[in-house]
Each structure stands twice: as C-alpha cells, then as structure tokens.
Amino acid sequence: MEQFDMLEHPHRRYNILTGEWVLVSPHRTKRPWQGKQEKVEEVQRPPHDPGNYLGPGNLRAGGERNPDYTNTYVFVNDFGALYPEVPKGSYEKGGLLKAVGEQGICKVVCFSPRFDLTLPEMNLEDIVKVVETWQEEYKALGRESFINYVQIFENKGEIMGCSNPHPHGQIWAQSTIPEEPAKEGVQMKQHFEQHGRSLLSDYVALELEEKERVVLENESFVALVPFWAVWPYETMVVSKRHFQDINMMTGKEKQDFAEILKQLTTKYDNLFEISFPYSSGIHQRPTDGEAHEEWHFHMHFYPPLLRSATVKKFMVGYEMMAEPQRDITPEFSADKLRSLSLEHYKSRRSRS
C-alpha cells in the first residue's frame, strides 16, 4: 500500500478555529470540466450615481437624505435585521421550543463617496480611513451596555447577494455572541489556557515556517489560505502580534493592515480579471466587558468563485447534509494567488 499523500488522496482537515472538519478530494481536480464557462462583460461604472441611495447627497429608501460626505459615511440601516428597542423576554415550551429576544444595531459603512471604486481600487490613504471608521464604530457600538459583540463585514458582488453596487460594508452589533465567533472563542480559550499562547500566534508561526499557504506578508500581518479552507480561494488575514481587537493596533499596524487588504483584494480581482465577489469579516473579541485575552484579531475572506468569473462553488448536497468539501487543495490556491500581480488588471490595461 502506498503512503498517504495529502496532495493526492482524499482526506479530512481539521479547522482549529471552529473544531470542525472539511473533506478534501485533490484527485478530483483531474476530472474534465463540462460546465458553463463564459467571459463576463464588465460594465464601466460612473464615479457617481444620483439614483443610488448610498451616494452622497442622495435620498435613502427610508426617506432620509445622505449628507454630501467626502470620506467614509456610516448610517443606521433603514431596514436593519436588528434594532435596539426589543422588549426583554423569551419563549419556551416543553424544553424543545426556545426563543430569546435579541437587541442590536445594524449600520451601513460607505467606503467612499465614489460609486466606482471597490477596496482594491481605492488609494491606501482612503483604505486607512475605512479601517479608522471600523475602529470608531467598534468602540462606539461596543460601549453600549446592551451590545456584547460587533460584527464588521462586507458582501461584495451580486453573486453574494449584495443588492447595491456602491462599495460598502456593514456592521451588525448585538446583545449575544453569535455562533461563528462563539465557536472560535471556545477553541482560542482552550489553546490559551493549555499553552499560555494565542492559538493564531502558534498557527501563524507554523505557516510562516512552511510558507506553502502564505499569500502575502508584511511587517504586521500575514494573508494565507488556511489549512482547513472551505471555499476555493478562501483566505485569512492574521496579525503577527497577538492583540484582541481593532483598537489595539499601533499606527504602523493600521497602515500595514490597510496595505495587505489592498494587495489581497487586488490579487483577487486579478485572478479572473473581474471585480472579485466575496464575503469578508473581522473576528475580534466580544465587547461584553471581559478581557478575552485568548482572542486574536483576524479577518476572513470567503469568495465563492471556483474556475472562472461565472463558475461558482456550490455548497449543496454533501456539504449541506454532511460537511464542507473541496477539490483543489489550499496549497494550490495559495500558489495561484501568490503568482498574481499586485498591479490591478484595470490599471495594467489602461497602461497598454
């Protein structure tokens, strides 16, 4: 019997952050592809669209008018999934039916007044302003006594269900710690108590030694394809220094964070030469007043595309019923992302 080879044989990989497993089937990448694969025509967007409710000076769906903002702009979502004035209470029947009231605040963060500039196309200084806005919001929302967790995230592209093309992210803050960060908190705490070190510090040290899954690195941050990645080109941006939340960054770390975000999203756009869709989000310590020493600041990128601008990975069948599965290995994806230019394909095109 031949020896087990991770790049050849079906296997399961362990996600240290969630305690869950993912099935990897590298041998399947050899099968012929017969699905659809078409070139996408990209529409050139104007810098401003007076009809878009996220734009400066424009009328929002809720009836309010946006100010003539020139940097980032934050407002409470007119149709948020959560709102603060929920009566305290719960419902229970027979120990089987449970419901608990949840308070929260949902905000929208416009990255800039420009309708046509996504993160990779923005100047570094303007991305720094987005990071600073995240810092301010995390602090202000976290200070509210009924807010114990702040989720900063972005859904980019129609394929991710983003209904508005004006580049923006969202912040949902709420009274309980939701499932994903709660799972990670348990894993990080266990490691921290056992070893006295942050789980992600140990993981990053190992990845920097192996280099195989590292996509980008600067003085303060690493962008890598996690060993247990589920999405074909999933990545994670992790701080090299162990700190718990976005407001603990030094000035240098803030710059480096903005830089690695620009570089990573540029590589994403260059992969299929389209504005690359993804869901991204920051995981950091809850704002429940506890120190949460074990928490280690990081950001996830979950992009759905698999083979081209139109061929998406579906989470269906086995993934829904059993567990996530992938064909191309995280090592292949990291290698592919590493090989891509840091110059955005649009600026390359406009030069030639």
Hey, which residues are catalytic here?
A: 168
DSSP structure class, residue 13:
E
Q: Which residue lies nearer to Zn ion by CB, 48 or 241?
A: 241
Closest residue by Cα to residue 134 from 184, 175, 168: 168
CB neighbour class for 345 (10 Å; exposed up to 12, middle 13-18, buried from 19)? middle
Q: Binding residue for Zn ion (CB under 5 A) from 156, 283, 313, 344?
A: 283
Chain positions 136 to 195 lying near Zn ion, rule: CB under 5 A, are 184
Stretch that binds Zn ion, among 41-49, 61-69, 109-117, 279-287 (CB under 5 A): 279-287
Cβ 152 to Zn ion, closest distance in Å? 12
H or E stretch at 220? none
Give CA separation, 133 vs 49, 118, 143, 170, 260, in Å.
23, 16, 15, 11, 17
Cβ 219 to Zn ion, closest distance in Å? 22
Q: Which residue lies nearer to Zn ion by CB, 184 or 259?
A: 184
Stretch that binds Zn ion, among 109-117, 253-261, 277-285, 326-334 (CB under 5 A): 277-285
Q: Which residue lies nearer to Zn ion by CB, 184 or 234?
A: 184
Q: Check if the beta carbon of residue 283 is closer than 8 Å to that of residue 138.
A: no
Cβ 300 to Zn ion, closest distance in Å? 5
Residue 285 touching Zn ion (CB under 5 A): no
Cβ atoms < 10 Å from Cβ of 39: 11
Name the residue whose CB lies closest to Zn ion. Answer: 283
Residue type at 6 in one-letter notation: M
Angstrom distance (rounded) from CA 57 to CA 79: 19
Closest residue by Cα to residue 284 from 216, 218, 188: 188
Place of tokens 């027979």: 94
Stretch that binds Zn ion, among 60-68, 105-113, 269-277, 283-291 (CB under 5 A): 283-291
Per-residue string for binding with Zn ion, 184-203, x by CB under 5 A?
x-------------------
Place of tokens 């955005």: 344
Cβ 213 to Zn ion, closest distance in Å? 16
Instruction: List contacts with Zn ion (CB under 5 A).
Output: 184, 283
